[in-house]
Structure 1
Amino acid sequence: MPEPKPDSPKKFVARLRAIGEAAYHDKHPFHVLMHQGKLTRRQLQAWIENRFYYQWTIPKKDALILAKADDPEFRRAWITRITDHDGIGDNEGGISKWYKLSAAAGLDVADVASLRYVLPGVRFAVDAYLHLCASRPLTEAVASSLTELFAPTLMADRIGVLEKLYPWLDSRGLEYFRGRLVQAPRDSEFGLQYVVAHCTTRDSQDRAADALTIKCHILWGLLDAIHYAYVSPGYLPPLWHDSRKLR
């Protein structure tokens, strides 16, 4: 039986974008509460602490992708993702900016950096992303990064929301999100062009779409863990060391 014909590039891009429209984590109840200004101080702090584990892992994920690439041109383009987060020379990286966000939220930066308050469910979700990028072929690993296609709008909205609805949060700590307004479109455009150029069969397109769907589910699962522990029903894991009160 012959393999189904691949989608045209235009139709394939529309298919990838439809995944984000349906499954990106901006629709998660936790993000909805955040953007309505309904999170407590502790709930927002918990998100900052736990989301840091994802930020901390991104350069490791990108190093795994780099290790799969034989094309120097690809590597030269992709390596900027690592320096964007780790910093290079006098340019401050995203991880340092997340520390500033943590301080602006009244958190102890050393505690955040230690990962001591990262929930088990968040660790499992983020580690699953590392496993996906390590175990899948290069094109599928790149496809999993295309959640960045949907990030700029969320980032722009988040800046305004945090400044307006959470006045206790020092707005000088929001530089991470401002930086991503430039970085995410640049990175996602490169990734999208690469995936479209290399997914020329229906099977490869299906596998790329599957990788992107799994990544959306990983981000959703990360928020599931935070919502369950800090919002509803508000159950922290057994033997958990975060005894601070929700407020």
Structure 2
Amino acid sequence: MTATPVRADGTAPPWPAAEFTRRLCAVTAERYHDRHPFNLRMHRGELTPGELRRWIANRFHYQRHIPVKDALVLAKLDRPALRRAWLRRIRDHDGTAEGEGGIERWLRLGEAAGLTRDELWDTSQVLPGVRHAVERYVSFCRRRPALEAVAASLTELSAPDLMRIRIAAFERHYPWIDPSGLAYFRTRVGQGARDGEEALALVHAWARTREQQERAVAALVFKCDVLWELLDSVDRGDSVAGGGP
């Protein structure tokens, strides 16, 4: 086995860009929630209407907090160009007017599945395990440096493929859901690819040392574990907080 090179100061040199990218992509390949049993059952068409509605309602608690965590990341950025670019993510979810944005599209998904908007906004119905997972992620983005908060968002690199699979699964297995309710998934195919590539470029620019690179990888592992924990709770329909895959 070849020893890892060490600098004169005792630190390991940074990984080359290609190796750093490979390690980040390996995290999502191994730990992204597309592999979770609940998602696998969803995509095979095995969920009952009740299970699907439970997922839609509880996942909405995560969706509604995406602009919150993005606002926390935005506050860490020190250049106008960076803030302008990241601000677009908030607009994507909140919209620029009433009836626009990703949160609105998720509400329409809920309505297409037979849920009311009031039911989706009612936080008292959110499973404690889901609430715990979302709080962990928001707190992480509040407390950690910009590098780690942005690196955690790199799950977006895998989102487009998941959205394509999900669209096909809903169209094939859940025809009782109005196709117009799938607009959120369709929109995120393009948005996720764009957001993932932008975040990856930032992580490469900011992670200049091996320690910073390792922290970025760890942040992505953390985010994958959060998504896994959320689905653990939805799968059981109870309050037990889960861990990783």
Which bracket does the TM-score occupy, shorter chain normalised?
A: over 0.9
State the Cα deviation string for residues 47-88 of structure 1 (Å, max 9, x = none): 000000010000000000001111111101000000000001
Match of 1:71 in 2: 79
Q: Is the 8 A contact 2:151 2:217 kept in 1?
A: yes
Q: Is the 8 A contact 1:49 1:115 kept in 2?
A: no
The more displaced of 125-134 and 86-95 is: 86-95
Match of 2:125 in 1: 117
Q: One-letter code of the match for 1:103?
A: E
Task: Quote how far apart the aligned CAs of 1:114 are.
Answer: 1.9
Q: One-letter code of the match for 2:189?
A: L
Q: Is the 8 A contact 1:55 1:95 kept in 2?
A: yes
Query: Are 1:20 and 2:28 an aligned pair?
Result: yes
Match of 2:152 in 1: 144
Match of 2:93 in 1: 85
State the Cα deviation string for residues 126-158 of structure 1 (Å, max 9, x = none): 110001111110011000000000100000110
State the Cα deviation string for residues 80-124 of structure 1 (Å, max 9, x = none): 000000001477100010110000001121111122321000000
Q: One-letter code of the match for 1:212?
A: L
Identify unmatched segments of 5+ residues in structure 1.
230-235, 239-247
State the Cα deviation string for residues 186-240 of structure 1 (Å, max 9, x = none): 11111000001110100000000000000000000000001111xxxxxx459xx
Q: One-letter code of the match for 1:155?
A: M
Query: Are 1:172 and 2:172 an aligned pair?
Result: no
> Which of residues 114, 124, 127 in structure 1 aligns to 2:135?
127
Q: Is the 8 A contact 1:142 1:191 kept in 2?
A: yes
What TM-score, normalized by structure 2, do the two folds share? Answer: 0.92
Q: Aligned partners of 1:107, 1:76: CA distance in 2, in Å?
A: 35
**Matched-pair identity in %:** 49
Q: Aligned partners of 2:51, 2:125: CA distance in 1, in Å?
A: 12
Identify unmatched segments of 5+ residues in structure 2.
1-8, 241-245
Q: Aligned partners of 1:14, 1:108: CA distance in 2, in Å?
A: 43
Q: Is the 8 A contact 1:144 1:208 kept in 2?
A: yes
- After superposing on structure 2, the runs of 4+ consecutive aligned residues of structure 1 that deviate more than 4 Å are none
Match of 1:241 in 2: none
Match of 1:214 in 2: 222
Q: One-letter code of the match for 1:83?
A: R
Q: Is the 8 A contact 2:233 2:239 kept in 1?
A: no
Q: Aligned partners of 1:141, 1:185: CA distance in 2, in Å?
A: 18
